[in-house]
Amino acid sequence: MTMPDSTKPRLTHAHLIELLRQMLRIRRFEEKCVELYSAEKIRGFLHVYIGEEAVAVGVMQSLAPGDAAVATYREHGHALARGVAMGPLMAEMYGKKEGCSRGRGGSMHVFDAATRFYGGNAIVGGGLPLAIGLALADKMRGRENITACFFGEGAVAEGEFHESLNLAALWQLPVLFICENNLYAMGTALALSESETDIHAKAQSYRIPSEAVDGMDVIAVEAAARRAVAAIRAGGGPRFLECRTYRFRAHSMFDAELYRDKAEVEVWKKRGPILRFTEWLKSNGMLHDTEVTGIEAEVSAEVDSAVVFAEAGNWEPVEDLTRYVLAEKRA
């Protein structure tokens, strides 16, 4: 990751191919996770990001190494896009101590200090106050960092959402709020839970400049994120993006998915971020079949290597169960 030098996406061939590669890394990693979950290699809860890859990949292009990122329990894609290594991430899914959270976080609590990736949060809306604290710390210490906070539209119904937006606006904190609006908070359609379904209008009520973005278009997301980040770095206070997207799979592996028609899912799949971007690249002569084959092979090898790394990992001994949980008694 490098500091962006423009508020516009870099439409070079190399950059466009990298966007595709990053989205494919997320897709193939999570498809493997679904397979491993079915084989009981991964236990507990699993919420995959399949269909929403353009949001994480697009937004991360605007961030610098010193910036922080806070996500939800559907965060594997954000972690990979932020630069968390796939091997330790897969080991974390397994619960092995070689995982990025030493196997103590699992799927929903991915953490990586080196990339300033602060989760992974199982509580709906729980990451919003954390983002406020991180941004406040950076501002008080005179650092030019920003905090990107990802959350779903379900979090908009929580008190933390309103409290956090109010404080961010009141204190003019360097926060980029990204609402990943996939239309269903678990199994509840947006129109059944919110009287105002135009999410970014809620941010405007706190006097936070906001924008609605096609979350299935990685270029549109990157462009909006770069504009927002540039404004924040210039001292303009917080910004808000509502990325309108869709998850192709159920809320979690335990979800019977009885709340939406299969036909609706199929319609959205035709607008899928990877399919749509690939077709656009090909139609503009910027991608050839041989390149796609090469990228797929590279990603497949990376996923296979991550599985080997996780399988070879170690379980933390039972006697270490209270480490990092209880404070050690000092003499």
Query: 151-177: per-residue pLDDT in tens?
Result: 999 999 999 999 999 999 999 999 999
pLDDT digits (tens, 9 = 90+) for 242-252: 999 999 988 88
Run of H or E including 171: none
Q: What is the pTM assigned to this prediction?
A: 0.92
CA dihedral angle for residue 37, residue 216, residue 247, residue 154, rounded to 10 degrees:
120
Axis-axis angle for helices 13-38, 218-231 (nearest 10): 110
Query: CA-to-CA distance for 93 and 12, rounded, in angstroms?
Result: 35
**Residue 26 in contact with residue 90, Cβ under 8 Å?**
no
pLDDT of res. 89: 98
pLDDT of res. 50: 96
Query: CA-to-CA distance for 28 and 89, rounded, in angstroms?
Result: 14
pLDDT digits (tens, 9 = 90+) for 35-52: 999 999 999 999 999 999
40: left (phi over 0), alpha (psi -120 to 50) or beta: left
Is 50 exceeded by the pLDDT of residue 196?
yes
pLDDT of res. 11: 84
Q: What are phi and psi of 65, to 5 degrees?
A: -55, -35
Query: CA-to-CA distance for 226 and 217, rounded, in angstroms?
Result: 14
Confidence of residue 10 (pLDDT cuts 50, 70, 90): confident
**Residue 72 in contact with residue 42, Cβ under 8 Å?**
no
Confidence of residue 4 (pLDDT cuts 50, 70, 90): very low
pLDDT of res. 211: 96
pLDDT of res. 1: 39
pLDDT of res. 187: 87
Is 70 exceeded by the pLDDT of residue 72?
yes
Axis-axis angle for helices 127-140, 159-170 (nearest 10): 20
Q: Which CATH number fits domain 13-320: 3.40.50.970, 2.60.420.10, 1.10.510.10, 3.40.50.300?
A: 3.40.50.970
Please report where in the chains the tokens 């423009």 appear, as a residue.
Answer: 6
What are the residue ranges spanned by the domains of the chain?
Answer: 13-320
Strands across the sheet with 210-214, in order? 68-70, 147-152, 175-181, 239-244, 210-214
Q: Which residues of 257-295 are buried (b: 16+ CB within 10 A; e: fewer)?
A: eeeeeeeebeebeeebbbebbbeebeeeeebeeebbeeb
